Structure 1
Amino acid sequence: MNNITTLTLPAVGSLAAAPSTHPHERAPSLAPKRRLSSETLLGGEREIEIEHSGALYRLRLTSLGKLILTK
């Protein structure tokens, strides 16, 4: 006698995303995200310095209106 087991898989669109295990990612928050306009952040300047974890970053507005963040 031959025992055959049938495995039924869910449709691709119904698969839930696996939770991230990356240490810098947090679980999604239901609270609205804080939003700042680039004009508010730059305060009329074309470049500002941002200190983060002891490192200095520069946020610059290009002539084409794009933002560039460099360390």
Structure 2
Amino acid sequence: MSSNPNDDSNANPPELAATNLESSLRKIVRFSDLSRCGDEVWIEYEGKLYRLQSTRQGKLVLTK
């Protein structure tokens, strides 16, 4: 076994491995892909309608 402090063969403790797994399971969707025709998206969730809107300042606003 190596005693080299730069050896990273055991660099991923279980906590970090779980974090990496969680991040690999995330679904990432660009807002521009959702709002192809404008600056807002309407989302239906549990029977309620929400509006996700991009502002001129580059922020997102979610309203009921």
For normalisation by structure 1, the TM-score amounts to 0.53
Partner of 2:51: 58
Q: CA deviation at 1:29?
A: 8.4
Unmatched runs of 5 consecutive residues or more in structure 2: 1-18
Partner of 2:12: none
Work out which of the two has the higher radius of gyration on C-alpha atoms and give 1 or 2.
1
Greater helix proportion = 2
Moved over 2 A (4+): 28-31
Out of 19, 26, 29, which is 1:36 matched to? Answer: 29
- State the one-letter code of the partner of 1:54: G
Unmatched runs of 5 consecutive residues or more in structure 1: 1-27
Q: CA deviation at 1:53?
A: 0.4
